[in-house]
């Protein structure tokens, strides 16, 4: 059985983790298949412009690592698994495609880290998130100690990581951990709003934000200018100007 169900809605794909019985946990097979799908939408073919990632059922988005599988791993196998996990999550960030996590249930440990690697997060009002690793004698190993403070600030991140506590949708939104509270239709609407825009511009804007976030302002502004220059010679820019003048929706081709 495939680890993901893939549904296509024009230029948007919805990826649903097929692991409801194990609370959509991160297994070796699941991470390997996720890496394949990320590589597919990140290639030269820009058919897919946005991905909504969610979990099967209503109880869990992704409840973290598959602890039953993990219990049977040697220390070396755990290191290999974590390397694959980090590489896959980083590939989500580096993709020109926009990723939206719809957190439809529990997202703990690696599940929260998976959501953090996405560009945007929409959370069901009944869902919970948390980096709970310290309760198991470990620390977040899929980027949580680095991505969370960059998103919500060091103090708030330490509060969540050092206590291992879980937060509901209202607090997650207040902290800036998620962008909005809603349902799958809200997540798909966000994706639709993204794919209607010029794909090259969306990808470059995404990278300008991520790449410049930790530079001093002058260096970040110079980086923004370089990325902006890359849009000037594109067919999509000319189409955008023409469509505006003609008062019609643009037809972008990613060129």
Residues forming a β-bridge with 26: 65
Active site residue 56: no
Active site residue 55: no
Active site residue 20: no
Q: Give the residue among 41, 1, 108 at the shortest CA–CA distance from 17.
A: 1
Q: Is 74 exposed, middle or buried (0-12, 13-18, 19+ CB in 10 A)?
A: exposed
Active-site option among 110, 111, 142, 203: 110
Active site residue 254: no
Active-site option among 50, 56, 65, 127: 65
Distance, CA of 86 to CA of 58 (rounded, Å): 26
Distance, CA of 160 to CA of 139 (rounded, Å): 12
Strand 12-17 to strand 50-55: parallel, antiparallel, or no bridges (unpaired)? Answer: parallel
| Structure-token pair, residue 79 | 């290191």
Active-site option among 98, 109, 133, 169: 133
Distance, CA of 200 to CA of 235 (rounded, Å): 10
Active-site option among 3, 13, 113, 128: 113
Residues with a catalytic annotation lie at 65, 110, 113, 133
């Amino acid at each position: 059985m495939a680890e993901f169900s893939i549904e296509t809605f024009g230029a948007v794909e919805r990826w649903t983790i097929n692991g409801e019985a194990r609370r959509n946990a991160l297994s070796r097979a699941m991470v390997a298949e996720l890496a394949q799908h990320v590589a597919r939408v990140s290639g030269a073919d820009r058919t897919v412009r946005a991905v909504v990632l969610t979990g099967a059922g209503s109880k869990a988005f992704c409840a973290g690592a598959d602890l039953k599988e993990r219990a049977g791993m040697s220390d070396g196998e755990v290191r290999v698994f974590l390397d694959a996990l980090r590489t896959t999550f980083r590939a989500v960030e580096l993709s020109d495609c926009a990723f939206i996590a719809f957190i439809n249930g529990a997202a703990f440990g690696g599940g929260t880290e998976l959501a953090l690697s996405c560009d945007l997060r929409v959370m069901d009002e009944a869902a919970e998130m948390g980096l709970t690793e310290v309760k198991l004698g470990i620390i977040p190993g899929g980027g949580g100690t680095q991505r969370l403070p960059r998103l919500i600030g060091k103090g708030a991140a330490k509060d969540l990581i050092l206590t291992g506590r879980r937060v509901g949708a209202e607090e997650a939104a207040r902290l800036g951990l998620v962008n909005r509270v809603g349902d799958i239709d809200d997540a798909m609407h966000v994706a639709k709003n993204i794919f209607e825009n010029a794909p090259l511009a969306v990808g470059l804007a995404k990278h300008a934000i991520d790449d410049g976030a930790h530079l001093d302002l002058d260096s970040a502004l110079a980086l923004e200018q370089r990325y902006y220059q890359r849009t000037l010679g594109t067919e999509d820019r000319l189409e955008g100007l023409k469509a505006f003048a003609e008062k019609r929706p643009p037809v972008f081709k990613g060129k």
